[in-house]
Chains A and B, each alone.
Chain A
Amino acid sequence: MNSKEKVGEVNKIADEQDELNKALGEFRLSVHAWSEAAYSRTRTAVVLSPRRVWRQAIGWALGCVLVAGGASAGVWEHYQRQQEMRITAAHAAVQQRQAVQKQEQQTRQEKEDLPAKDDLLAKVDKDVSREVPAAMEPLGQLMAEDEAQ
């Protein structure tokens, strides 16, 4: 690298440094101006009148009541359904228990009645067997007449 090239390189670096310094200075000025404008801008503050505050409060209160009412109605409905289902289930259980008891009672009654019925049938058979010969007598006489002829 000869001296001319060296000088050119140095000048180039110096130019770059100048441009950097210039850019940084301009950046600083821009940020300062931007900040000053933002800092001194007019600000609007919303002041709520007492009437508006009351209206807002009432609105919020009504909203809260509606939400609470809706939620409690849902809970109440759910509770009622649960109660109905519980009562229906209890009724069904009582009816089932009664049906089983009735069935058992019938079976027991039938078992108790069975010996008496057998005795009655035996008595009837005995009475009938005793009466049959007398009842069959005319038929026997007829048969004897036929044999004689």
Chain B
Amino acid sequence: MAMAEEIGAEEFSAVVAQHRQQIFRFLLASTRDVDLAETLTQDCFLKAHRNWASFRGESSAMTWLMRIAINLQKDHWRNRRMQFWRHARANAVDLGEAGEWLPSGERSAEQQLLAQERVRQVGKAVEGLSERQRTVFLLRYVEEAELSEIARATGLSEGTVKAHLSRAVAKVRAELGGRR
């Protein structure tokens, strides 16, 4: 409680308003489960509020929050893998289905279908990645984070991040190549 007093309610509300959507998006893409992503997003901000005193400002608030979100997601899968994995899997949707949300823009119907097919292929490849590769890939290509930010958020070195990213992209490329 004493720690929580170190950030004012209004100040913390501003932090939540600024970063909540991005944290939710990352968790949604990682878990593919809307309800789970919402729960983990709430947990993330609750944890951030409780531990605000430990945020020393060495990285941006976003990177710090993202680190909390990554750890929560890891803990969730570790805790639920044995007991409720079936339930969790049943709620998760295919990441390729995100293609249905692709804005049509100025594309023709045929181009839109081709684009959706590409999104489906990328989604399929991302689902096949290891947990760490997927995290790094989503942070880089969905959240457009810099390598240094990804390294800080994941606690990995930049070299390791590059290696994971390279392997992830190779798998996506292979999936797209197999389509043709």
Give chain A's interface residues, CB within 8 Å of chain B.
16, 19-20, 22-24, 26-39, 41
Contact = CB atoms under 8 A, between A and B. Distances in A.
Given A24-B172, A27-B123, A34 B118 contact: no
Interface stretch (B9-17, B64-72, B94-102, B152-160): B94-102
Contacts of B103: 29, 33
A24 B24 CA distance: 20
Given A20-B173, A35-B21, A38-B28, A28 B142 contact: yes
Contacts of A30: 98-102, 119
A23 B119 contact: yes
Contacts of B118: 19, 22-23, 26-27
Contacts of B173: 16, 20
Contacts, number: 76
B112 to A, nearest CB: 10
Contacts of B123: 27
Contacts of A16: 173, 177
Of listed A23, A24, A27, A32, residue having the most chain B CB within 10 A: A27
Contacts of A39: 21, 24-25
A47 to B, nearest CB: 19
Contacts of B129: none
Nearest to A17: B173
A27 to B, nearest CB: 4
Given A30-B101, A33-B102, 10 more contacts: A26-B99, A26-B119, A27-B126, A28-B142, A30-B98, A30-B100, A30-B119, A33-B98, A37-B101, A38-B24
A36 B34 CA distance: 11
B28 A23 contact: no
A24 B25 CA distance: 16
A38 B176 contact: no
Given A33-B103, A35-B21, A35-B28, A27 B177 contact: no
Nearest to A35: B25
Contacts of A19: 118, 176
Nearest to B32: A34
- 9 closest cross-chain pairs (CB), A and B: A35-B25, A33-B101, A30-B98, A23-B118, A34-B101, A27-B122, A30-B102, A34-B98, A38-B34
A20 to B, nearest CB: 6
